[in-house]
Structures are given as C-alpha cells and as structure tokens.
Structure 1
Amino acid sequence: MISYRYQFTMTRPNELPEADCLAQILIHLGRAARCEDGASGLTAAQWTCLRFLARANARTRTPSGFASFHATTRGTASQITKSLECRGLIARRRSEEDGRSVRFDLTEQGRKVLADDPFQDLVAAIADLDETERRAFHATLMRLAAQLAARRGLPAFGTCDDCKHLEERTSGAHCACMGRDIEITDRASLCANHAASELTPGRTIAKTGHDRNDND
C-alpha cells in the first residue's frame, strides 16, 4: 500500500494536483483532526457531535440536524447523542415552538470538555494562514461542500453570513427561508436551511425580500 505521504508528494512543482490526491488530503486532515484521545474517553463521532452542537443554531440542534450533518442515520445519531447525555455533556430540551420536537444544548460540563478539543490543533494551523489564504480557502471549502451535498441530494450546512436567504434590513438581519429575524449571535452558527450564496463568503448580502418565494 502506498503511504499518504508518498501520494501527497507525487505532484511535481507547477503541476496541477490530481483531484483524487486533493480529496485524499482532505480525508487525511479530517481523520487527523478528529483523533480520539484517551484522556476524554470520547470517540471521534462524539467529538463531532459536541462540535456540531456548539456551532449550530437552535433550530438545527436536532436529532435530524445532526444526522444530516454527520451523514449518518437517525438511529446512529440517536445513539451518539444518548451516549453524550449519559455523560452529562449535553441536555435534551423541548422546542419552544413545537412541543413535539427536541433540541440539544451543551451543558457546562460539555463546554469544559470541548475546551480541550484536540481539533484545536487544526484550528491553530489554519489560523497561521494569512488573510488572503484563509478567505480563498473558505470560499473553496464552501463551494466543495455545496457541490458534494448537491450530488448526493443532502442539505449543505453553512452560516447565515454565507447564505442567499439572508436579507439585510434597517431593523437588522432577516432570514427569508424561515421568515424571521436573525439574532446577531446566530449569524455565525451552522444552519440546516443554508443555501450557498453566489457572492464571496463573508461579504454582506443585500436583498430586497422580493425573491422569498424562490427560497420556499
């Protein structure tokens, strides 16, 4: 078997990298970043769930929301969330809007565990990129995520600031998809109703509200 290190260095300088090589690097980075550590006793899937619940908005922190994000079944997602509940790291809440549905919130203990997330090593590596590299990297990743989701018929997760449903109004930000105003703290949260904007991620998206029917 050819090692990842060998495959990563097969491309000569100035030669366009093969798509499968870049895909393997992405997979390698993902696996390396979500490593299981013995100190916490959490699995890679449990870490992924904690990170998701810490970044997702209230309407997306649901069993189906995590199942979609984790690209797994509702049954598997339920097992993962139940194991975190048993550890006291997340709590199940009834939705204020619909008493039949539930959402998950991190407990204080869960936030303490997340503070020691091994994923932070990758965060630090990305933070070392300069501003131009980070913006280009962000745009590329968002485009790849949207294209992969479209190919598989899955929802593409993203934030309000990168979403075409976002409307900037004099009263504040508004979500045309959900038909409600957006709290400032939610603009950087993951949302399952995300639709990629054609504009560069991070730019302000100005809309008039006349295209709401296109987003239903």
Structure 2
Amino acid sequence: MGMDDPQQIQFTIDRLARLSAAEAWAQGLNPTQAAVLSYLCRANRFSRSPSHVANYLASTRGTVSQTLKTLVRKGLVTETRNKADRRSIHYDATAAGRALAQSVPSLDAAARSLATGRLAQANETLADILRQALATRGMRSFGLCRTCAHHERRGGGGYCHLLKVNLQPVDVGQICHEHSA
C-alpha cells in the first residue's frame, strides 16, 4: 500500500486520532470528554447547545448529554438555561476547562515542525477530504464565522445575515453550526 492509496489516508487519520485519544486519557479525560471540551472552547456563542455538540461530533445526544454532565461535575464546563425558554441550554468551558483543553498535549508540535508550505498543503488536503465526507453524509460544515456566506465584515467583528445579529470580534474566529460555504 503506497502513499497514493486513498485507504492510507484513513489509516493515518485513525492513527492520529488514537494518539490524540491517548493524550486525553493521560489528562484525566476520556476521548469524548476531550472532544466535547475542545469543541466548546472553539464554538461561538450560538453553537454550544447539546444538539450542536452532538451534530459536530457525529454522536448521539444521549452520549453528549452525559458527557456534558460529567464535565460540569468536573468543573470544566458550566450549564446555562435560556431565561426565555428554560428548556434551552447552552454550555461554556470554564477557565479550568479552557486551560485543560490547551494543556492536553496534541499533534500541534508535530504539525508545526512541517515546513510552512507542507503544513498549508496538509491542511488544505484534509479540509477537502472533510468537506467531501460531510457532503456525502449530508452533514453541516461547522466552519469559522468569517468564512461563512452569511458573514459580513464590519469594524470590530461582523454581522451575521442569517441570524441577523452583530458579531463580536471573538465570534468571527470561532466555529458556527449555521456555517454555509
């Protein structure tokens, strides 16, 4: 099996995922907890409900709900109910959760060791594969706000034409469940 075999990409991605999961266990998180915490640290304020997390992770709402409860008990995540609709809940990573998510050793160092051109090429290739896989499954892209068709650049942050809201500067660099390429 050579490097031009598409199946090799799957094997490589699986191996990288296993390495990442092993690092999460070493930090006291199971792989699902680490993935949920990572998502919450990168998701914008409109994308932190249990259903959004489940959709992003291609997981069940039950698994995600139990994982969120565990992360709340560990003090890594807070739960907030919508004042207008008490059934609606969103979650935020606490300072301890953000610190842990950043401290979990990751593949960043290995990726940074690549030459700039190779890193950009690897990112583009993996993004293309992800887009194709999501399209095949009819799943949402969850891209960055600033790359969305609904985003309008404005001073300081931006404006979302879909949600009809002004965006904070932090929002435009985070992932959104409403993203449309």
* Alignment TM class, shorter chain as reference: 0.7 to 0.9
- TM-score normalised by L of structure 1: 0.75
Q: SS of the counterpart of 1:158?
A: coil
Q: Which sections of structure 1, spanning at least 5 residues, go unmatched?
A: 1-9, 197-216
Q: Which runs of 4+ in 1 moved over 6 A?
A: none
Q: SS of the counterpart of 1:53?
A: helix
Q: SS of the counterpart of 2:92?
A: strand
Range with bigger deviation, 29-38 or 80-89: 29-38
Which of the pair has more CA radius of gyration?
1
CA distance in 2, matches of 1:175, 1:97: 22
1:112 corresponding residue in structure 2: 99
Percent of residue pairs identical:
33
Counterpart residue type for residue 162 of structure 1: T
Q: In the alignment, which of 167, 179, 184 is matched to residue 152 of structure 2? A: 167
Deviations 1:71-94 (A, max 9, x none): 111111111111111111111012
2:172 corresponding residue in structure 1: 187
- How many residue pairs end up in the alignment? 181
Q: SS of the counterpart of 1:111?
A: helix
Q: SS of the counterpart of 1:104?
A: strand
2:77 corresponding residue in structure 1: 90
1:24 corresponding residue in structure 2: 11
Deviations 1:85-143 (A, max 9, x none): 11111110123675431111112222332232122xx0111122233233333322222
In angstroms, what is the RMSD of aligned CA positions?
2.2
Q: Which sections of structure 2, spanning at least 5 residues, go unmatched?
A: none
CA distance in 2, matches of 1:39, 1:134: 27
2:21 corresponding residue in structure 1: 34
Report if aligned partners of 1:156, 1:195 keep a CA contact under 8 Å in 2. yes
Q: Per the alignment, do residues 147 and 39 of structure 1 end up closer, same or farther by CA in structure 2, a change over 3 Å counting?
A: closer
CA distance in 1, matches of 2:116, 2:147: 17
Q: Per the alignment, do residues 74 and 172 of structure 1 end up closer, same or farther by CA in structure 2, a change over 3 Å counting?
A: closer
1:208 corresponding residue in structure 2: none
Shift of 1:172: 5.1
CA distance in 1, matches of 2:23, 2:112: 22
1:142-161 correspondence to structure 2 within 5 Å: 142-161=127-146
Q: SS of the counterpart of 2:103?
A: coil
1:5 corresponding residue in structure 2: none
Q: Per the alignment, do residues 42 and 157 of structure 1 end up closer, same or farther by CA in structure 2, a change over 3 Å counting?
A: same
Give the structure with the larger helix fraction.
2
Counterpart residue type for residue 58 of structure 1: R
Deviations 1:133-188 (A, max 9, x none): 33333322222222211211221121123322222246852222222222111111
Report if aligned partners of 1:36, 1:43 keep a CA contact under 8 Å in 2. no
Higher relative contact order (CA 8 A, sep 6+): 2
Report if aligned partners of 1:35, 1:118 keep a CA contact under 8 Å in 2. no
